[in-house]
Structure 1
Amino acid sequence: MYHQQWLELVQQALSEIETQYAQSPVSEKPKWRNRFREIKKSCDQMLESWAVIAEQLAELMEKYPDLNEEEKEIEEEVWLHESAVRSFRQGQGYYGLTMFKEAKQLFEEVVEHEPDFLLGRIYLGLSQFHEGELHEAERHFQLVTNTASHDSFVGFAHHMLGCIAVKRGDDRKAIKQFSKVTSLLPDHEDAWFNLGACHFRLGEYHEAVPYFYHALSVNEDDWEAMYYLSHCYRHCQEWNSVSFWRLASYEKTHHPRILESIAHDYEEMGDHEQALEWYQRLLASDPKRTGAYHGMAWNLWALKRTDEAIMWLKKGLTLFRDDQPLLFAYVWMSMASGQMRKAVHALDLLPLEQVEQPMWLAMRSRLSSQQGDYQEASRLAEQLMEQEIPTLKAMGHYQKGRIFLEQKNVDEAIRHFKEARQLAKDWKDPLFFEGVCHLMNGCPDHTRSCWSEIVT
Structure 2
Amino acid sequence: MKIEEWFQVLRSKAETIEEQWSDASEQERLQLADQLFYLRQVSDTVVDLWLQFEERLSNAIRRVKEMEGQISPAEKSVPGAESLSAVKATMTMTNEQGTAMEKTEKTSYTPASPPKEASAYEPMFRRGEGFYHLRMYQDAKKCFAELMEESPDWESGRLYYAYSLLFCEEQEGAFREFRLLSRSASSPTVVAISYNAIGCILAEEQQWLEAAQAFKLSLEAKPDQEEARYNLALCYYLDGDAQEALDEIERYMQKDEHDWEAQMLWLRAAQQLQAMDEEAELTPPPSLQLPTRELDNDTLQEMASLYESVGNYHRAQICYHFLSERLPKAGWAWHGLAWNTWLIAGTKRALTLLKKAISLSPENDDFTFSFGWMLLFDGQVDQAMAAFRHILERDRDNRLGQSGMISAYEKLGELASARRLAKEFTDDQDPYVRALGYFHLGRLAVVEENWRLAEQYFQRTLTHAEHFREVPIYMQLCATKLGETVRNKELFPS
Q: Answer yes or no: is the 8 Å Cα contact 1:230–1:243 preserved in 2.
A: no
Deviation at 1:180, TM superposition (A): 0.8
1:156 to partner: Cα distance: 0.9
Matches of 1:319 and 1:211 in 2, distance apart? 40
SS at match of 2:440: helix
Map 1:166-315 → 2, pairs under 5 A: 166-216=203-253, 218-219=255-256, 222=259, 224-225=261-262, 228=265, 235=274, 237-238=280-281, 241-242=283-284, 244-247=286-289, 253-263=294-304, 272-315=313-356
Describe the superposition over 1:290-326 as per-residue Cα deviations: whole angstroms up to 9, x where unpaired: 5432332222222343022122122112223344543
Equivalent in the alignment of 1:94: 134
1:336 and 1:128 map into 2 onto residues whose CA distance is: 61
Shift of 1:109: 1.8
Structure 1 vs Structure 2: percent identity of aligned residues?
20
Deviation at 1:158, TM superposition (A): 0.7
1:56/1:215 CA distance change after superposition, 3 Å: closer
Could you tell me which residue of structure 2 aligns to residue 114 of structure 1? 147
Contact 2:234–2:245 (8 Å) recurs in 1: yes
Does structure 2 retain, via aligned residues, the 8 Å contact 1:224–1:249?
no
Gaps of 5+ in 1: 14-36, 61-65, 96-102
Are positions 1:49 and 2:49 aligned together?
A: yes
**8 Å CA contact retained: 1:151, 1:184:** yes
Say which of 336, 350, 353 aligns to 2:377. 336
Which residue of structure 2 aligns with residue 28 of structure 1?
none
Q: Distance in 2 between matches of 1:125 and 1:174?
A: 18
- 1:199–1:208 CA contact under 8 A, matched in 2: yes
Q: Is the 8 A contact 2:141 2:165 kept in 1?
A: no
Could you list the per-position Cα deviations for residues 141-197 of structure 1 after superposition, in whole angstroms to 9, with x for gaps in the alignment?
234334533322222111011112222333322211111111111221111222233
TM-score (norm 2): 0.64
Q: Do 2:291 and 2:318's aligned partners in 1 also have CA atoms closer than 8 Å?
A: no
Listed as ranges, the gaps of 5+ residues in structure 2 are 12-35, 61-65, 77-112
Aligned counterparts of 1:266 and 1:211: Cα–Cα separation in 2 = 22
Within 5 Å, give how 1:55-66 maps onto structure 2.
none
**What secondary structure does 1:445 align onto?**
coil
Compute the displacement of 1:126 (Å).
3.6
**Alpha-carbon contact 1:231-1:242 (below 8 Å) kept:** no
- 8 Å Cα contact 1:226-1:248 kept in structure 2: no
Corresponding residue pairs, total: 405
Aligned to 2:435: 394
Give the counterpart letter for 1:418 in structure 2.
Q
Change (3 A) 1:340 1:86: farther
Assess if the C-alpha contact under 8 Å between 2:330 and 2:360 holds in 1. no
**Which stretch of the first structure deviates more once superposed, 191-200 or 82-91?**
82-91
Determine the structure 2 residue equivalent to 1:161.
Answer: 198
Contact kept, 8 Å, 1:431 with 1:450, in 2: the verdict is: no
Contact 2:424 2:437 in 1 (8 A): yes
CA contact (8 A) 1:107 1:120 kept: no
Report the Cα distance in structure 1 between the residues aligned to 2:398 and 2:178, rounded to whole angstroms.
45
Corresponding residue SS for 1:313: helix
CA contact (8 A) 2:230 2:252 kept: yes
2:137 alignment partner in structure 1: 104
Q: Name the residue aligned to 1:72.
A: 75
Decide whether the 8 Å contact of 2:257 with 2:287 is kept in 1. Answer: no
One-letter identity of the residue aligned with 1:104: Y
* Residue deviations 1:64-90 (CA, integer Å, cap 9, x gap): xx9999352641498683674575144
CA distance in 2, matches of 1:136, 1:355: 55
SS in 1 for 2:328: coil
Query: What is the identity, as a one-letter code, of the residue corresponding to 1:421?
Result: L
Aligned runs of 1:444-455 on 2, under 5 Å?
444-446=482-484, 449=486
Compare 306-315 and 379-388 and name the one that shifted more: 379-388
C-alpha change, 1:207 and 1:43, in structure 2 (3 Å) is: farther
Question: Contact (CA 8 Å) 1:331, 1:342: kept in 2 or not?
Answer: yes
After superposition, the CA RMSD in angstroms is: 4.8
